[in-house]
Amino acid sequence: MDLREQVTYGGPGWAQRDGTLADEIARGDIWAPYACNSEWGRLRHVVLYCPGPDIQNIASPNQDLHLRPVRYRQLRRQFHRIRRAYQGAGVHVHCVPASGRDARFPNLMFQRDLFYQTSAGAVVSRMASPIRSGEEQYAARMLANLRVPIALMINGKGLLEGSDLLWVSPKTVLCGVGRRTNESGQRQVANLLETLDVECRPVPVPKGVQHLLGCVQVVSPDRALVRTEIVSDSLLSELARLGLEIVSVRETDEVAEHCALNFAVLEPDRVIVADEVPVFRRFLGSLGIEIADVVPLSQYGNAAGGLACATGILARDLA
């Protein structure tokens, strides 16, 4: 047998795979057609996770990165209310199966932290806190089950959490570098995004917030809401460089203590926001931002997060 004549050895009939991973994602025949290149494109698919009863058995909330004890039954009701809000807005909700290990992973409800979607697959985080180490396996399993390619898993000494990455334009991502994302993690993402002709620029995360998402929300192609009293000049300069209007958000109790800025953007200037922040909702209304729905988030707040943190973004309409 002449192996050179066999297809498997490159003989007649051999066909070379061509095109890019992004092309295959867009076709949807191999990979699911989930992609994202903005924070404001019409939201199509999200991931949510509801913890089990073990979430209320945490002995030391502070050590587990929570602020106060979480009441399971109330959290479960709030989870279902969030799911209905998304479904009512035409968003497809994918629920991650319960891990059965909520005592070991008490922060799995915050899916945004675990991965970051691009137009060519997902970036799987590498969590900074030992309490959260290992959550990444649930993100990887969920993505695989949904036929989402993993373009990058943060490795080596890199640390990165998805909530530190923000699309500020289809060609620019800001990466918050601080306690939860380090320079190595940022460089790994920058190298990936460079292959997509996207620039990833590092900016410092201010003290007193967990992630970049906690101080910036890009609500449309030309406008960002920013906690200007606490963010760095370099972050403001990056937003201004891109021509974004910067709307200052004051450091009120609702913003600083109740995660008011932690809302979900459904499409340009249309959001779902927390029930617990009425003054902030009026502020949004004064900006012409439509509030599509209001959801209770007290138990997510007890766990030190909000709606945006809880929502893993799988797909938006590409900008």
Residue by residue, DSSP assigns the chain as --GGGSGGGT-TT-----S-HHHHHHH-SSS-------SSSPEEEEEE----GGGGG-S-TTTTT-SS---HHHHHHHHHHHHHHHHHTT-EEEEPPP-S-TTT-TTTT-GGGTEEEEBTEEEEPB-SSTTTTTTHHHHHHHHHHTT--EEEE--TT--B-GGGEEEEETTEEEEEESSSS-HHHHHHHHHHHHTTT-EEEEEEPPTT-SSGGGTEEEEETTEEEE-TTTS-HHHHHHHHHTT-EEEE----HHHHTT-TT--EEEETTEEEEETT-HHHHHHHHHTT-EEEEEE--HHHHHTT--HHHH-EEEEE---
pLDDT of residue 312: 98
Average pLDDT over the chain, rounded to an integer: 96
Give residue-wise pLDDT tens across range 161-203.
999 999 999 999 999 999 999 999 999 999 999 999 999 999 9
Stretch 53-68: mean pLDDT: 93
pLDDT band with cut points at 50, 70 and 90 for residue 114: very high
pLDDT band with cut points at 50, 70 and 90 for residue 85: very high
What are the residue ranges spanned by the domains of the chain? 31-316
pLDDT band with cut points at 50, 70 and 90 for residue 121: very high
Residue 135 pLDDT greater than 90, yes or no: yes
Residue 102 pLDDT greater than 80, yes or no: no
pLDDT of residue 100: 72
Residue 160 pLDDT greater than 80, yes or no: yes
pLDDT band with cut points at 50, 70 and 90 for residue 98: confident
pLDDT of residue 99: 72
Stretch 234-247: mean pLDDT: 95
Residue 1 pLDDT greater than 90, yes or no: no
Query: Quick one: 31-316 is in which CATH superfamily?
Result: L-arginine/glycine Amidinotransferase; Chain A (3.75.10.10)
Stretch 286-313: mean pLDDT: 98
pLDDT band with cut points at 50, 70 and 90 for residue 74: very high
